[in-house]
Chains A and B, each alone.
Chain A
Amino acid sequence: MKHIDEYRDKGLIMKLMDLIKRSADRNYTFMEVCGGHTTAIHRFGIAALLPENIKLISGPGCPVCVTENSFIDKAIAYSKMNGVIITTFGDLIRVPGSGSSLEKEKAQGGDIRIVFSGLEALDIAKGNSDKKVIFLGIGFETTAPGTAVTIKEADMAGVRNFYLLSAHKVMPPAMEVIIKEGVALNGFICPGHVAAITGSSAFSFISGKYYIGCVITGFEPVDMLQAIFMLVNQVNSSSPETEIQYTRAVTKEGNIIAQRHMKDIFMLRDDHWRGFGTIASSGLRLRKEYEQFDVEKVIPVNVKNHEENVLCICSDILRGLKTPLDCSLFTRTCVPENPVGACMVSNEGACNTFYKYRLNE
């Protein structure tokens, strides 16, 4: 991987900053939808460089943060069954469910393994034919195609002990909910990697129908500042549209092959989002033809819904209504090693990011 330094070039950054400062003649609020962008903003100290009249707020684009507790509770329930191996991305392991976390269950003997991909989980299934291997599928359009390919591979190889517990979601419906809730926004810094799959066209209804500008953005400092400059210009000229800043990865149509894999394997369902409630057609479940891999169909479990900590404001943070600094638990009882809400758990969560990089915020 090369050319990282070019996108972090201080001279170029200063030029962009100068352009932004000269163009920004009013107040602007932009939402960075993706957790990767939230991380970049704080990791590189971008927020501290921006003029005061440009405010960035974090959106719902951290998959761990918007996953409901009941998903973790289900995964834990499965982990307690005999002969089950749970495979998961590392981020999920510390997320608190109602009473425990996968990490705690692992410490007490649950066979819970961290993997870097669905295919790695499938390999574990192939090597443990006497066990049931459940992969916790989580993420937006960026990770869903990988899961889809894994299911296809499992099907072709005739693997019968591999299952998916899906928390996969799609991004645009959540953005629409935020708009409908009336969060005051002048533009979206749209997720570059989601759009690499979906194409920019998946976001164009936002500028078309709601007159809010969208810029599909990469994850380096230069990308983000260029996108902010583009959004400022859209606001100034009252011409909201869906533009691509991240042209080196994103096209209007997106990755057709990945889209096809997703369509082959998944269908949309109404899904629960932490902080949002149920959003229509926002989640991905396996199609009927692949139901033998759907652990919820093959081995149904029931978990109770439970009340979350009433003081936790993750739900408002995820909808861009509040920031971590508005939370009475933040840094007091809610810290990365003892998280109360999901935004503190995930590396890309707004609270975790604010905590890690807190300074001049």
Chain B
Amino acid sequence: MKEHATHFINTGLMNEYVSLNHGSGGSLTNKLIRNVFVKRFGLAEPLTDSAVLKEAGIMLAFTTDSYVVDPIFFPGGDIGKLAVCGTVNDLAVSGAMPRYISSSFIIEEGFSFHDLILIADSMSLEAKKAGVKIVTGDTKVVEKGKCDKIFITTSGIGILSPGLEHISTGKNVKPGDKLIINGPVGNHAIAVLGARKKLTFNSPVTSDCASLNHLISKVLDECDEIHFMRDLTRGGLAIVLNELTHLILSGIVINESSVPVEEPVKGLCEILGFDPLYLANEGKVLFVAGDDEYKKVLSVLHSHPLGKYSEVIGEVVENDRNLVILNTAIGGRRILDMPSGMQLPRIC
């Protein structure tokens, strides 16, 4: 016990409490993970979406994620679909072929079977679409008020082909590489917020929630120079770009006007004071492609329904180490920083 107490004091956390900002995916989440979990669990840096494990000559990617979205049904998806897509995507962006998924449920007493069946059907459908099998799970029920309706945790295993290990760590990324995203950002956060706050939009905003593994495997099959991939979830594009600059020790320049944002999302962001670059997505992935091949990557993406609106949004640069620089739409320049707090809680 004494030893544990000393560790707390050393990290300055003894008198602190976990706040919602620690779950934002931003710099506070990062600190929590590093100060509390990394050294106690002996986790290896860099921290990536999936662990890559070698056993008996086979490379496996292994990941886990919890889903606490509020509300549990929203335009374009529900907590079940999200729980499958999110874990499939975490495996796929590490270059792996997602194969098996586990699914654990924490259910609040009084939750309706009608909704539970809808969620299970949605998970089953999404798993079929993604080509993964749900093979194990767990169910717990807690007293009313001890959780909010339903929380789901999914873990996933995928098989990583030799030669793709570099993707999750970005170690092949170099200056001149181009950054590509597969469509407009911010829809998931705005769709969830809209459902939660009963905001009415001129045109409906639908979550982009989707399994990206087929899109990604098409790109990996047809292109050789994919140097990095990461799905854009909590904290949005800004967080992924900032994490990337720390993995690769170079800088990144983004052209604001190249980042696609749908008109209603843009409008809502203006009204509510959000920056779409920080908003959560559930069906978007950032590719870093070699300068020689990015046009091919783009055309492969354009040929797939989930990549129709792909755009090159910027490039890796030698200068501005560890910084993400944004060329603003009007010709100014500024930093695109790591978000420190949350824009919206319980978005995924």
Question: A: which residues have CB within 8 A of B?
Answer: 1-2, 4, 8-10, 13-14, 42-49, 94, 103-104, 106-108, 116, 120, 221, 335-337, 347, 355-360
Contacts and interface: CB of A to CB of B under 8 A. Distances in A.
A359 B334 contact: yes
Contacts of B263: 1-2
Interface in B305-341: 325, 328-335, 337, 340-341
B217 interface: no
B19 A103 contact: yes
A45 B330 contact: yes
B18 interface: yes
Interface in B189-222: 197, 202
Contacts, number: 85
Nearest to B257: A10
B331 A337 contact: no
B17 A221 contact: no
B17 A108 contact: yes
Contacts of A8: 329-330
B273 interface: yes
Nearest to B31: A337
| Interface residues of chain A: helix, strand, loop or mixed (majority) | helix
Interface string B213-236: 000000000000000000000000
B23 to A, nearest CB: 11
B21 interface: yes
B328 A45 contact: yes
Contacts of A14: 331
A44 B21 contact: no
B335 A357 contact: yes
B179 interface: no
B30 to A, nearest CB: 10
Contacts of B273: 347
B329 A337 contact: no
Contact of A42 (B21, B202, B334): B334
Nearest to A347: B273
Interface in B162-202: 197, 202
A13 B331 contact: yes
Given A1-B271, A4-B267, A337-B27, A356 B333 contact: no
Contacts of B18: 107
Interface in B260-275: 263-264, 266-268, 270-273, 275
Contacts of A104: 17, 19
Given A43-B328, A103-B21, A337-B21, A2 B267 contact: yes
Nearest to A13: B330
A107 B17 contact: yes
B333 A360 contact: yes
Interface of B: 17-21, 27-28, 197, 202, 263-264, 266-268, 270-273, 275, 325, 328-335, 337, 340-341
Contacts of A357: 334-335, 337
A336 B270 CA distance: 22
Task: Please name the 9 residue pairs, one residue from A and one from B, whose CB atoms are nearest each other, closest first.
Answer: A45-B332, A1-B267, A336-B340, A357-B334, A337-B340, A45-B328, A107-B17, A107-B19, A13-B330
Given A45-B332, A106-B19, 19 more contacts: A1-B266, A1-B271, A2-B263, A10-B329, A10-B330, A43-B275, A45-B328, A45-B331, A46-B332, A47-B332, A104-B17, A107-B20, A108-B17, A336-B340, A347-B273, A358-B334, A359-B325, A359-B333, A360-B333
Contact of B335 (A13, A46, A359): A359
A253 to B, nearest CB: 25
Residue picked from B21, B267, B328, B329, most chain A C-beta under 10 Å: B328
Contacts of A94: 21, 341
Given A1-B266, A1-B270, A4-B267, A45 B341 contact: no
Contacts of B19: 103-104, 106-107
Nearest to A42: B334
A108 B96 CA distance: 41
Contacts of A10: 329-331
Given A1-B267, A4-B267, A45 B17 contact: no
Contacts of B271: 1
Nearest to B201: A1
B333 A103 contact: no
21 contacts: A1-B270, A8-B330, A10-B329, A44-B329, A44-B330, A45-B330, A45-B333, A49-B330, A103-B19, A103-B21, A106-B19, A106-B20, A107-B17, A120-B197, A337-B21, A337-B28, A347-B273, A355-B337, A356-B337, A359-B333, A359-B335
A356 B330 CA distance: 18
A335 B27 CA distance: 12
